[in-house]
Structure 1
Amino acid sequence: MRRDPRLIDTWLRTPSLRRQTVRAMLVLVLGLECAFATVALLFVLQPMAQRSAHDLAGLMVLSANTWAELPPGTRPAFERELQQHYRLSLQPGMAAPADQGLIHGFYIGYLESALRQRLGHAVYFDKRVDAQGHVWLWTSIPAGGRDIGVGVDNSRIQTQPLRALLLGLLLTLPIAIVLALWWARRITRPVEAMERAAAKLARGDVPQRLPEGGSRELARLTAHFNQMAQRIDDLLQARTVLLAGVSHDLRTPLARIRLALELQRMQPSDARLDQIERDVLAMDRLIGDVLQLARGLQMQAPQELELLPWLEQRRQEHADWAQAQGCTLDVQCPADLHAWVDVSALQRVVDNLLGNAVRHAPGSITLRAEPAPEQGWVRLSIDDRGPGIAADQLQAVFEPFVRLDKARTPGAGSGLGLAIVRQLAQQHGWPTGLQAREGGGLQAWVDVPEKPSA
């Protein structure tokens, strides 16, 4: 089968569902990570950094003031204590450094701001490297009438929370990609299987039924697809059986008509013309049943139907024909019973069931309507006292062209009546069946909804 070039071009330009899902999930994960990082920065890291800077500024001021108040003999020990435990260093007499345009991070800015609040003037830092190669940040703090230089070991403030946060985001990115690929595959796998099955169906092949698993929406979609595929499969099989049956059932009367015409030329006979007419009527009835079976797929909008007058109408329309066949028709239905149905389809179902009973079960026939065993449904049935049907053939008679009459006489019907009933019932979701009656006879029934579905 040739592919439409426009479809191929659309497939090439449109990204796959899996790619779209991965892209959407990555955007979502990155967006969430950026939002988390922003919240962490504004509401956690920044307040913690400001609090830490205020504490360090207080320690620096306190260290300078304490050194100025200590006796000169104890000051070296105090300086060693500061350097060992707090990584601070003191340098008396150090002039305040000028603003040298030192580029630093947020934390140093917070520290300068905290010192400015405590000292009442702008404070700047000067970067120096000691003999061991350690970097120190120095500023001058006035204490005891002189300027005292206070240095902070740069390693004390090298926690770099922003770098740690960025590194965490980069490390989670591969994990997010793997999870996105796995989740996209999990989501798209049943859709891809359905796409392959639909493509197979489009080529005219019958696809295998798909497993109805996964999420609720996918399970429902798969169930609907399986129902559609099953219906198409049934229609294809019904078409094959229908064509085979029609060709078979038309061949017999056509052969009789051909033979009758040859004999009529040799020896004219009114009885032979009557036989030809009966064969033509049988062919016309067969074609009409085939058309009716084909029209079974044409659904009409359901409407509320009052069953008692409607069943009385069906009885009256069939009364003369039934009487000619030796049948009497009766209606039993509660006066207030209603149904919500496609009236045209229900009429064809009831007429076919009634016609089947009249042809095969002369005697008393009852058109009955009553609440069905399942709540919310109404059961319409045709009850007769005829010879009935064997239990092992109750389902077989619903197949097209199946007749219990092996002789296939012209008056025995086309063999499509119950097939039409089943097709219409399946199309509308109506349960239908045949069952033997107590005391003999057969009940043919169909259940229809009493009210519109919620």
Structure 2
Amino acid sequence: MSPAKYTQTLFGRTGLTITLAFLVFSLFAVLVNVTLILRPIERQAADDLAALIELSTKTWVELPPATRTDFEREMRKSHQLRIYEAENEIAAYEDDKAYLIALVDSLENRIGKPVPLRKMNLSDDWLWVDIPIASRVLRIGFEAERMEVQIPLALVLIVVMGTLIVTLVSLVLVRRITKPLARLVEATATLGQAQDHVQVPEEGPSELAELARGFNRMDTQVRELLANRTTLLAGVSHDLRTPIARVRLAVELLPSEQKSELEQGILDDLEEMDNLIGQAMEFARSLGDSSKVMTVDVGALLLEIVEEYARGGHAVRLSAESDCVGKLSSNALRRVTTNLLDNAVRYSHEQPVELSCESDAGSVIIRFADRGPGIPEAFRRVAFDPFWRMESSRNPDTGGSGLGLAVVKQLCDANGWEIELGESVIYGGLEVTLRLPLSTEE
């Protein structure tokens, strides 16, 4: 999943929000620590060093000359300070570190004179201050690393580790919430479909478990409703065929001297009713379609269908690639293809129908193009509704029952296929694009 898509998920957004919130809190904590803790400590440490330097110079002056060497040695050992009487001038040294600025300010306040920092050379690790006292100048040195405080590094480590720990914990918690939701989203894609469906596990936090339980109840009710509707349509269609068959038989058994054009009209009407009932039964079967999925050579299947149309005197031209193979329901694909070809042949007025098949990024794309009037864009969304016809008179001479595309849509939805109606740029009629996501796994 790309970063852009990841941030659109509930898991990604929640994890990112928690991480950013803790990062902002950590930065605020660092700012508070630096302002209210580190800076005061730094100023206090600089003032303590200034007091030690002042006391050392006064003590050095008061001591007998014979004991000053021992005092200097002791200061070097115990306080890391070097003291001796300055005999020459060394260059001033400027540094913008807050600790050094505070040290210089404290020394100047205590002594009452300017006390610049000095450094013997750039490679020297010691900093020096010259303190005038009792008609002489004492030079006091301290190591530059004395002012290096490691507390900021500790704060950085705390922030980094805290952010990492909170991020990992928050991702685990968010995942526990979003995983059941993700399963629920996957289940909604097959809601009410006839294919084998596993109910959503009713686990996790009580709210999510109750949501899954409610969804499973709804899914069961939808499946029962669809099954009842399928049974009702199939039962009514079947029961209607029995009296129609009796009427047809009675008409055909009439004495030949009584047969007339009226009889032929009755037979034609009965044939039309029988066709309509047959399409209604086909629509009912499509609502409960559970065809077996198997490895299918789509190109070979289309060629077989095209040959059947050729034997019936219909011109259908096929262009198919050789690698259109995958796992799908061959019965469902055959019914979808024949329904679409029946429509194309009906409206092409004996002109050839173009059928093509190609593979593209794990899918097979089948296109049906005719030379008929097509379907205006404003009506393409409702064209899949049962019994819908663009010509509203229901005249059988100008169209079918309005169930052909409805059956196609039901079968496509049940198998996870995509179907789109458009206009054929080359032939000017309707172009139907059918996309079949394929799986080659056994």
TM range (shorter): 0.3 to 0.5
Structure 1 length as normaliser, TM-score? Answer: 0.47
